[in-house]
Each structure stands twice: as structure tokens, then as C-alpha cells.
Structure 1
Amino acid sequence: MYELIYKIKSIKVEDNKIQNSHSTIRTPIIVGTTLVVGILIGATFFGGRRVGGDISRSSTKYKEILTYISRSYVDSVNTDSLVDYSITKMLEKLDPHTYYFPPQEADIARSQLESGFDGIGIEFNVFNDTLYVVTPLSGGPSEAVGIQSGDAIIKANNNKLTGKDANSTNIFANLRGKRGTEVKLEVKRRGFKGLLTFSVLRDKIPQYSIDAAYLMEDKKTAYIKINRFTETTYEEFKQHMAILQKEGMKQLLLDLRGNPGGYMDRATDIVDELVGGKDVIVYTDGKDTRNNRKTFAGNDGMFEKGAIVVLVDEGSASASEIVSGALQDYDRALIVGRRTFGKGLVQQPIQLSDGSELRLTISRYYIPSGRSIQKPYEKGHLENYEHELDERGKSGEFFIADSIKNNPKMRFKTKGGRVVYGGGGVTPDIFVPRDTSHITKYLLELYGKNILREFALNYANTNRKTLEKQSFTVFLKSFNITESMLETVKGMANTSEIKFNNDEYLRSKEFIKLQIKANIARHIWQRNMKNGLNNEFYQIMYGQDPIVTTAIKQFSKAEKLEKDKKL
């Protein structure tokens, strides 16, 4: 899901001095979408409008047809499902970001961007059609009653959670629920005969949007990874930045890879912490002028001076593109990685009477240079848009920088005069190809059946007392995955009917070892954290990551850019 959500706050609406001509900025931009939807612009724009005569006649006709179907059609029909289907097909004639959520899906979509959800407070893993507790969340209701890492939850309120019932929909339906309500869990625990019973009182479970925030080995580079822009992202960012600055950070590596977006104002608030001046960060333009907004910088930011490198890839979309694109347009950060997704449309959420939700595209957004990063699409023919990333792969764009085809008509300039392009994502300043050398069918099957995570969980639980006696620094430098451990992994894979392929295994071996070590560290050290960080996991995984290692070498160039605003 790619989302860009815009919650309205006080925003000054005034002209902004940019380096591109007014006519260039207003050049019609071909726009598109992502897998789900975008910017929430406030829910007041549609109130009190008259419905046109054509719309009234069409809705009357639609209601008549539904009435005849319900009353006279030869078979029984669920008219609610017909309505949902017809709405979905109707919206396909518009743009790919306008989207309809039925009531249950609407609740899930909203919860992904809220500060938390109501549930029992566990991270889980499904292995061999069984739901295992990876860890009870610190301070949560499951931890309070004694649920442990490695427990297998067999039933919840007498409803099975194993076999074909061990699917996400069923799991969420049974474990999430209104805070204060009780759920009875039947649990299988290693070393105990029969099932253990626990009564868990559901509560508010916090969600965090920053996965990692730590000083790297040089003790001056702060690494921060944001997974999406939720209600709490800006506050999380400020808290972690304050700690890192006290620890001595001098430069920032901001990782937005795979970040699908979220609340627009959280993204612009973060940009404002990193740029000086009072110029525009983002503005929107639509048919209805009431949907037009400009957001300006102006706060005394936490890190307005100091080199910044931003990591992006084809999974970075919406709010991520506002952050990376605005920092690029300001000549404030060096962008490293691959071209971003390309999502530049604005959606408004409209909650319907039955709890369902319509997210309707009402405008386009533009970053400081005046460019839209929205990639092309054709109304009513969204198939090509949905497969656009596949086409990038076929063209070689993920591996060769010269394969990126920027539209020469969408040529803009940054504040410092560098050439940038609109109409299809943010093109990085430094390209880093995908590393697929370790990807094999054998590795993907290990992932698909959760073998690596399950082995790491078992190993961590079995050796917890020994591992906890050492510091993470010692573990990072001295702990090695042995051949004996790998043989156990291969045995688990064989039991799960994964056919062994020696050539593929050897290609993936070092990455398998890295994954196991990172997950063991996560199970040992992250369980005591109350801020959602997985620092130990990422310190291990990204120690050899090509984009990270490339980015670190670019800080001298980022520092020069920050000083003279030119590469």
C-alpha cells in the first residue's frame, strides 16, 4: 500500500519564489497512483454542496436497478456485495489512487497510520500452519499475564488459529478487539504437557514508525530508518534526533527505502527540521481552489546545518518522495539509491454512513522546484500503471543508471541550479543497483515458510541466558553462525518439504548467516525496548548493505552540497 495522507493544520497561502517560470509550473502533469491511496486533505470540502441534476438522475436509476434485483431476481443476491463491486469498478475509470474501502478494510487501513491499535500485544510468526509468539510487546497485556516468546497460540476464545485458520484475517479478527475486552488463549509451550490457558485483557498497543536510530561505527553518522509517516512519526523523529545529537552526531543518513508514505504534514514537519529559510516545501493544485494549499518552512530546525544523505528506492512513495524531493530541491541532501515510485496525487478521505471509506483524488502536489513526481497513467486503463515497476525491471533500470528514462519536457532546477526531473518519481543523485547475487529459489522458500526466523527464535530462547551475559558490541564482533547451526536450518527446511539445492544454497549462504545472526540479536536485545527500535537487527543487516556502504562514502560530497548548494 502506498499512501500520502494530509491532515490540515494552519498553513499560509502566499506566493513562493521559485526558480522556474509560472507557466512551467502550471504545465499539465500526467499523473498516476500506487497500490492503494494517498493524501488526506481534510473532510470539510464536500459539505453542503448541491448534487447536480445528472448525478441525481443517475443515482435514481442505480437505486431502481438494485430494487428490481433485490425484489425480483431469480436467485438470492447479496446487494451489499453488488454495491461494493460496482463502486470499485466505477472508480477504475478514474485514477489509480481513488479507492474505496469496505467497512472492515477501512478500519484496518486507518489503523496502519494511527498511533496504535487495540489488541493483545504480541509480534507473531506463522510457521508450519501454527501461530508462534515471536515476542510479547514490552509492557503489553500478553507480557503481563506471562505469554512467552516461542509460545504457540492454538485457540482464541475457542476459535482455532492453526492449519487453514492460521491466516492473517482470522488471526487479526480474534486477537485484535476493543480495549478492555477479554480474550481466552489456549497455548502450547515447549516442555509442558497439554495446553496452558491465559486470559488477556486487550489494551492500546502503540505502533512505531521509526525502525532504527543509532550512531554508526564512526560515532558521527546518525542512521535513522522511517518505515512510514504515521501520527507519531514527527515526535519520534525529534526524540531520536535529540538523543543522537547529545551522543555527538555530525551528519545524518536518513533511510526511506520501502517507505510507502503516510501523513503529509508529518513529512513536511521533518523537512522543516532539516532546512533553513521560509520557502515552500510542498503545494497542492486542484480544480476546486479550496483544495489548494502551500506549506512553508519557517521553524528553527534541529539540524539545519550538517551533511545529509537520503536513501530511496522504487518502494519509496508519496510522503517519502516529498521528503527526498524537497531536500533535493533545496540542495540540502544528497539522494542515493534508485528512482522512487512516483506518486503525486492528493486524496481526501470521505467516511460513508456504513463505516466504509472513499479516498477521492482532489488535487496534485508539487515540491519546491515546481515539479510533480507523479508518473503517467491513463484513466480507465490502469493495467500498465499497476505493472510499471515490472517494466522498470525488464528495461534494466534497477541495475543500470542509464536505463532511467527521464522526460526532457519535465526538466526543472533546484535552488542551487542543479537539473532535476518531474513526471516519474525522484531520480537519485547517486545510483546504486539492486544486489540480487544472493537471491535464489531456495532462499525465497526459506523466507516463505519462515524457516530463518523460526530457527533464530528457537536458538535465542534456548541460549538466552548465555547471550544476555555479553554486550551487543561483543556479539556483533565475535558471534558466528556455525556449520552445525546451518545443518539444523537445512533439516527444518527439509521437514517443511523445501527441496535442497546445493548451488543455490552456496549462493545464498552468507546472506542466510547474516539473517540468522540479525534475528537472534533482535530476539535478545529488542524485547526490552519500549520505543519500537530494532537497532541491533539493522546494525547487523546493513553492515554489508551496498546502498548503505555507498552512501557512507558520499558524505564528503553531501557536505560540499550543503555548503555551496551545488554538486
Structure 2
Amino acid sequence: MRQWVRFLSVGFLLAAALAFGALQASYRSKPTDRVIRDVGEALRTIETYYSGEWSSDAVLKWAIVDMLLSLDPHSNFLDERAYQRMMEEQRGSFYGIGVSINSIQGVLTVIMPIPGTPAAKAGLRAGDVIAEIDGEPTKGQPLDDLIRKLRGPKNTEVRLTIVRQGYEAPFSVTLVRDEIPLVSVVNAFVTPDGIGYLRVRNFAERTYEEIRSHLEEFQKAGLKGLVLDLRDNPGGLLEEAVRVADLFLPPGLTIVTVRGRGIGRVVEYKSEQEDPYETLPLIVLTNRGTASASEIVAGAIQDHDRGLIVGETTWGKGLVQTLYPLSFNTAVAITTARYYTPSGRLIQRSYASFFEYSFPQVQSSPLTPGSPDRPQFQTDLGRFVTGGGGIQPDVAVESFRDPEVLQAIEQEFYRRVAPVNGLPYLEFARFFAPVEKADEERQHRSTRQLLSPDFQVDDALLTRFQDFLRQREIPFDETAFRRDREVIRQVLRRELIERLWGESEGYRYFLTFDPQFKKAQEVIPKARQMWSQRLQALKKKEVSS
């Protein structure tokens, strides 16, 4: 397989050389050679006749992307930047200052500092404008170039000039670059009732250690049950998913079976170690964004009746990719196997239509039961589950969605201002500051309004938000705004908390009115009863054997 991948990359390099007259050679008359010759002639034709500007590198990269997409939706080409990002995600760290940034109308803007990083310790806040990096203006510069300037070797310095809404003048701050951890567990706490909550954003090299560490802390608080939130978790490393599932399963149970091409290419992963969390009542939250490695965990939990799946049907990705590095720090991800849940399910959704596969929410509700002709399987206790279209929840609950009037407002910002998610709230939050920063605000003669962590969105704050929209000339349905004002209060408070006190705090407040999390807490007793029944069956099997 590796040789085949290399052959394809060499083929495209030869085609590029043909296009620019750098290669003069004859090819044997084979279909592959004819296709390569067609590519070369097409490139020469573009070079000769195309009226606009073009890049041969960009054209060839898209040719490789389309070639791989013709295989399946998940085989892909990673250019140097994408490959670097993937490796950082899997390693779980990079070197820099620890800040999420974006370009808004050519202005480099802080979206969110990462907690505990140099950026957060230096006091950078959501909405800050980074006007200069080491004395060089940032306005209008390519975002990738600016990201490279902010990153660099550990213990090196970078000086930023910051413009902050409401401050009398810009100010400078010098940061020392450090290793920036990309944690997998982004929320972790125990409710007053003893229910632990873990929100896992991906499966990287340290995901298992992070989860285990949090569980050890939870036990000190008298843990009575666990909600494992895998919503919008796109997956990651297969091995980490197996290790996480192993935390909750007794030894000897199948977690996933991976079947590759050719005879003997079958690997069965089983739970191996004993853990104190194997009897803990367990709920797994899922939605359409739950995919790949996340579905491996959810599938193992469901098939062994270890816990209940609450929420919406998952994405349905049962293909396994292997990453093959190429020359010049690029790579291709090729589908090399399929995985099957313990009951034998292949949960891969059909990708006959690329549009339907990419936008499943347009085609059907994530709560709609699967087609009756989907293959049927049984869990250990005999419950029926289906394959071929994601993992359906045991308890279906629709995701919370912002009112349509707020969705329309965000779309207007996206279209008129910049394609940045959550932009209306980021812009509005610039006019506020945490009350804990009162001294700093006074020092800079700030005009921003101070808010305490327990602030409420009263009528005055709602009116101010509407005035802000009018000043920005963003149209909105005022009748719908009045009708949905109570839900809008919740959403606006969530968004302001996130910008002023961090994403983790904003999401924790969101959980107070999240219907899926509420249902998860309600059905903990049902999950406990089901797993108790399954454990009794396992003990009887051990005695009889």
C-alpha cells in the first residue's frame, strides 16, 4: 500500500514536469500512462490558454485531492500546513503563546486565549486586536504568516501591541513562548448529586491519561455516575479510543474489530485491564458530530449494555485511515480498513452521494429511526441495534438549538463582516470586562462595563444588544426577538460568559439548560439497572464455565 501511494505522487510530479517541458520521455501504452499524459496535456493547455492567474502547485494539489475523494470521503491529501496541524492535534501540543486568532476584515483578532498559557497569563482577552507583532503591523497580512510569527521555539520572546475596545490607548506586552497543550478533556466536574461529567473533544496521544486523571479526582468527591460527552468529537487515534473504552469494561470483552484488505488482516481489540470504573453507571452523549474513534467507544458501550447512549444518531464513519508521509512534509490519508462494533456492526453510512454524506442533517433528522432494511444486530442482553448508518441513541433527545432569529443574526455577520463563528457575540463582548479586572480597567481609563460572574441578562442588557445590532446595520426580526427573549437571555449569557471567563465556564452554564445533559442525569438509574443485569449474566457465565 505504501509503495502504491508513492507511485501516485510520483505520477503527478511527472505530469507536472511534462507540463512545463522539463521531461521528455515516452510511455508504454497502458491506461495509467494515458491518464498521466492527459494530465500533462491538460496542464500545458491551461498554461497556454487560461486567461486568469493560476498556480501549478495549487492545481496539482486539487488533482490529488479529487483523486483520493474518488475512493471515499475520508481518503485525503494533507498539504504541509494541514499535516502539521494533524500531527500537533495527535501529539497534543505545539510551541507558541497559546491563543486562538482569526482575521476579521483584515484585523488580527483574539478569539480565545487557551487557559494556563502565556497568552492567558499575560491577560489577553477575547476580542483583543493584535496590531503589531515584534513591531511589524499585522493588518491585511495573511493569517498563516501571522500564525507562524506567533509560534516559535520554546523560551523565545515575542512582543505584541494590543488594541482593546474601551482602552484609552494601545499597550504592549512581551510573552515567552512555551509548549501549548491541546487537551482532549475540555470540561470536567462533579455535580452536587455526585454525577461526574467529562467533555472530550478528540482522541489524541494523551486522552486516556487525561480521562483517567479526572476520574481519579472524581472518586475523591464520591462519584455515583458518569456522563461522557462525545458530542462534536470527530475522533482521532484508534488506540486511544480502545484504551478509553477499556476503562469502563471488564477484561475479556471485544471493543472493536478492524478488518483490512487481504487474508489475515483482521485485528480484534479486547478489554484487558481491571479498573475501579467498571461498575460505574455510565451515559454517553452523542450527536451528528460524534464520529470515528468516538463511535468506537459509543458502539462498545452500547453493544455490551455497559451504559446508555443519549442524544442523536452519530455521523456513521466506519472507515479507518492510515497516514502515509510523502516528500516535502505532506501526507496522504488512505482508507486501509473498516471497523466493526462488538455485535458485528459496520456503522459506516453510505457515501454514494457526496452531498448527502457531507450534510446528513439536510437529508434526515438525527432522531429519525434508521431505514427498516438496515441490518439488525443484538447487544449482549438482546436489545436490537442497527448497522450501516451511525449509532442510534438508546434515548433520543434533540440538541439545543439557538432561536432562528439568533441564527439569522449570526449568518448576517458571517456574510457581511467575516466568516467567523460566534462573531456577533465576540463583537458585543468587547464592551464588557470581568469585575475581577476592575483595577486594570481603571488604569487604562476603560469605558467598558464591568460584569460579575453571576450577572443576569436583564431587559437593559437585551436592549443594548439590539442597539448594538442596529448600529452595525445588522437586520433582525424584532417580533421573533421579543417572542424568544427568554431563550435569548440564556444564549447571550452563555456567550458573554465564554468570552469573559473562558469556553469551559460558558459551556458549564450551557449545561444548566441543555436538554440532552438533563436527560442523561435522569436516566442514570436506568443505566445502573441495565449494567447490573449484564454483570449478573457475566458472573453466571463464569460459574458455568
Q: Same fold (TM over 0.5)?
A: yes
Aligned amino acid, residue 95 of structure 2:
D
Structure 1 residues 446, 304: CA separation in 2 closer, same or farther (over 3 Å shift)? farther
Q: What are the within-5 Å matches in structure 2 for residues 167-566 of structure 1?
A: 169=144, 171-179=146-154, 182-189=157-164, 195-218=170-193, 220-289=194-263, 291-378=265-352, 382-392=354-364, 397-398=365-366, 401=367, 403-436=368-401, 438-440=403-405, 441-445=407-411, 448=414, 450-456=423-429, 458-461=431-434, 464-465=437-438, 479-522=455-498, 526=502, 535-565=504-534
C-alpha distance in 2 between matches for 1:554 and 1:79? 57
Asked if the contact 1:408–1:421 (Cα under 8 Å) also holds between the matched residues in 2, the reply is no
Aligned residue type for 1:46: R
Give distance in 2, aligned partners of 1:517 and 1:316: 26
For residue 127 of structure 1, report the CA deviation from its aligned partner: 6.2
Deviation, 1:55, is 11
2:511 alignment partner, SS class: helix
Counterpart-to-counterpart distance in 2, 1:56 and 1:248: 73
Q: Distance in 1 between matches of 2:29 and 2:69?
A: 21
Counterpart CA distance in 2 for 1:82 and 1:149 is: 37
Secondary structure of the residue aligned to 1:272 is helix
How high is the sequence identity, in percent, across the aligned residues?
29
Please state whether the residue corresponding to 1:271 is helix, strand or coil. helix
Q: CA deviation at 1:306?
A: 2.3
Q: 1:374 aligns to what SS in structure 2?
A: coil
Unaligned runs of 5+ in 2: 12-26, 418-422, 440-451, 536-545
> Are 1:291 and 1:362, in contact at CA under 8 Å, matched by a contact in 2?
no
Equivalent pair of 1:212/1:223 in contact (CA under 8 Å): yes
Matched position secondary structure for 1:544:
coil
Paired residues of 2:255 and 2:269 also in contact (CA < 8 A): yes
What is the CA deviation profile of residues 513-537 of structure 1, one whole-angstrom value per residue up to 9, with x for unaligned ones?
22343345446655xxxxxxx5532
How big is the shift at 1:177?
Answer: 4.3
Structure 1 residues 331, 514: CA separation in 2 closer, same or farther (over 3 Å shift)?
same
Deviation of the 1:146 alpha carbon? 6.2
Distance 2:484 2:143 in 1: 28
How far the C-alpha of 1:158 sits from its partner, in A, is 5.8
Aligned to 1:18: none
Q: Is the 8 A contact 2:108 2:138 kept in 1?
A: yes
Judge conservation of contact 1:278–1:296 (CA < 8 Å) in 2: yes
- Summarize the Cα distance change of 1:224–1:88 in structure 2 as closer, same or farther, 3 Å threshold: same
1:426: Cα distance to partner?
A: 0.4
Letter in 1 for 2:532: K
Compute the displacement of 1:321 (Å). Answer: 0.8
Q: Find the residue that maps to 2:2 and give its secondary structure.
A: coil
Q: 1:94 to 1:452 in 2, by over 3 A?
A: same
Separation in 2, partners of 1:207, 1:426: 27
CA gap of 1:152–1:558, structure 2 versus 1, over 3 A, is same
| Structure 1 partner of 2:18 | none
Q: Offset at 1:93?
A: 2.2
Which amino acid is the alignment partner of residue 233 of structure 2? N
1:384-443 deviation line (CA, Å, top 9, x unaligned)? 323433101xxxx24xx5x32234451111111111110110011111134447232455
CA contact (8 A) 1:211 1:226 kept: yes
Q: Tell me the alpha carbon deviations over residues 86-137 of structure 1, each in whole angstroms, 9 at most, x when there is no partner.
A: 2122223211111112222222233233311222222447667644446544
**Paired residue secondary structure (1:224):** strand
Q: Give, in angstroms, the shift of residue 370 of structure 1.
A: 0.7
31, 34, 46: which one pairs with 2:2? 46
CA separation of 1:196 and 1:338: change in aligned 2, threshold 3 A: same
How far is the alpha carbon of 1:480 from its aligned partner?
Answer: 1.9
* Contact residue 203 and residue 237 of structure 2 kept, 8 A: yes
C-alpha distance in structure 2 between counterparts of 1:49 and 1:442, whole Å: 45
Partner SS state of residue 304, structure 1: coil
Aligned CA distance change for structure 1 residues 192 and 421 (closer, same or farther; 3 Å): closer
AA at the equivalent of 1:267:
A
Asked if 1 retains the 8 angstrom alpha-carbon contact of 2:323 and 2:332, the reply is yes
Which amino acid is the alignment partner of residue 502 of structure 1? E
How far off its partner does 1:70 sit? 7.3
Correspondences of 1:7-46 after superposition (within 5 Å): 46=2
Please state how far the C-alpha of 1:312 moved relative to its aligned partner.
Answer: 0.8
- 1:469 matched to which residue of 2? none
Query: Using the alignment, how far apart are the partners of 2:331 and 2:392 within structure 1?
Result: 33
Give the number of the structure with larger relative contact order, counting CA–CA contacts within 8 Å between residues 6 or more apart: 1
Say what the alpha-carbon RMSD is for the aligned residues: 3.5
Question: Aligned with 2:290: secondary structure?
Answer: coil
The offset of 1:500, in angstroms, is 3.8
Counterpart AA for 1:246: K
Partners of 1:442 and 1:256 in 2: CA distance: 27
Mapping for residues 115-134 of structure 1, pairs under 5 Å: 115-124=92-101, 130-133=107-110
TM-score by length of 2: 0.80
